[in-house]
Amino acid sequence: MVHTKYLPNKSLHRMAKTLRIFTAGELKSLSIKTMDYVRIKNNEELPDISKHKPFKCVVVIEQEIAPDWQVEVSNWLCSSGCMYMMAWGQDCSSWDDSVDQANIMQFQGEEIPDDSVVFTTWHEDEPLSEVFWFAKHTAHHESHDLKNTVVLHISVTEKSHQFKAEYANA
């Protein structure tokens, strides 16, 4: 309990009256959401991103890629803990299908449990800034609290600072 009669001014007095004590569960739900930038090139070895599990992933495709490598990346995303994938860029609609297929293959064609369904969207005619806004404010999973976002940039060009700034401003 905050004893407001001992506070030196009215502003502090008002702030103390609105002070709220949070439970551990409430604090956990208030924890900071993170964004990590990962750049890969066509046919490059895929890094371990499972530390972000469960996470949302914005796949930014700015390089032409081989279909078999797209399948490999889709499988890697699903096995690494991606629960919501948003694709933007070159041939982004194919990523919706390839990640859906990878999710189905994880369960060998059997019914996928609700907590294991990977949601997928593609954003063909939208600016990347709107995809970042969607990822940050709208994309959610019914079974997981997705605090971490991975921006997976498939490109020969590094844009870490640019994408981090755009995501922060979304």
* Domains parsed from the chain with CATH numbers: 1-31 (no CATH), 32-169 (3.90.190)
- Please tell me the predicted confidence (pLDDT) of residue 33: 77
CA distances from 44 to 66, 82, 83, 118, 125 (A): 11, 19, 23, 24, 28
Nearest to 60 by CA among 81, 79, 80, 35: 35
Helix (H, G, I), strand (E, B), or coil: what is residue 36?
A: strand
Q: Strand 82-89 and strand 148-154: pairing?
A: unpaired
Question: Residue 54: is the preceding peptide bond cis (ω within 30°)?
Answer: yes
Nearest to 84 by CA among 61, 103, 112: 103
**Cβ-based neighbours of 159, under 8 Å, separated by 6 or more:** 37, 39, 153
Tens of pLDDT along the chain (170 residues) come to 444 455 555 555 455 555 556 565 554 455 567 899 999 999 999 999 999 999 999 999 999 999 999 999 999 999 999 999 999 999 999 999 999 999 999 999 899 999 999 999 999 999 999 999 999 999 999 999 999 999 999 999 999 999 999 999 99
Strands (E), the chain: 34-40, 55-61, 82-89, 119-122, 148-154
> Are the CB atoms for 42 and 67 separated by under 8 Å?
no
DSSP H/E element including 18? helix 10-18
The values of phi and psi at residue 8, to 5°, are -70, -20
- Please tell me the predicted confidence (pLDDT) of residue 17: 52
> What's the maximum distance between 2 C-alpha atoms anywhere in the chain?
70
